[in-house]
Amino acid sequence: MARAQAANTDTATRTLDVAERLVQTRGFNGFSYADIAAELGVTKASLHYHFASKTELGRALIERYAERFRERLGQIDAGGAAPPAKLAAYADIYASVLRDRRMCLCGMLAAEYETLPEPIREAILRFFDESETWLADVLEQGEADGSLRLQGSARDEGRAIVSGLEGALLVARPYADVDRFETAAASLLKRLAAA
Q: What is the pLDDT of residues 105-148, one digit of tens each?
A: 999 999 999 999 999 999 999 999 999 999 999 999 999 999 99
Q: What is the pLDDT of residues 13-25, one digit of tens each?
A: 999 999 999 999 9
**C-alpha gyration radius of the chain:** 19
Q: Which residues pair with 148 in a beta bridge?
A: 193
How do the domains of the chain map onto residue ranges?
A: 54-190
Q: Is 27 left (phi over 0), alpha (psi -120 to 50) or beta?
A: left
CATH fold label, 54-190:
Tetracycline Repressor; domain 2 (1.10.357)
If we measure between CA atoms, which residue out of 158, 163, 165 comes closest to residue 143?
A: 158
Average pLDDT of the segment spanning 30-51: 94
Average pLDDT of the segment spanning 145-158: 96
Say yes or no to pLDDT of 91 above 80: yes
Give the mean pLDDT of the chain: 93
Residue 66 pLDDT exceeds 50: yes
pTM here is 0.90
CA distance 5 to 9: 6
**Residue 194, pLDDT score:** 75
Q: What is the pLDDT of residue 4?
A: 47
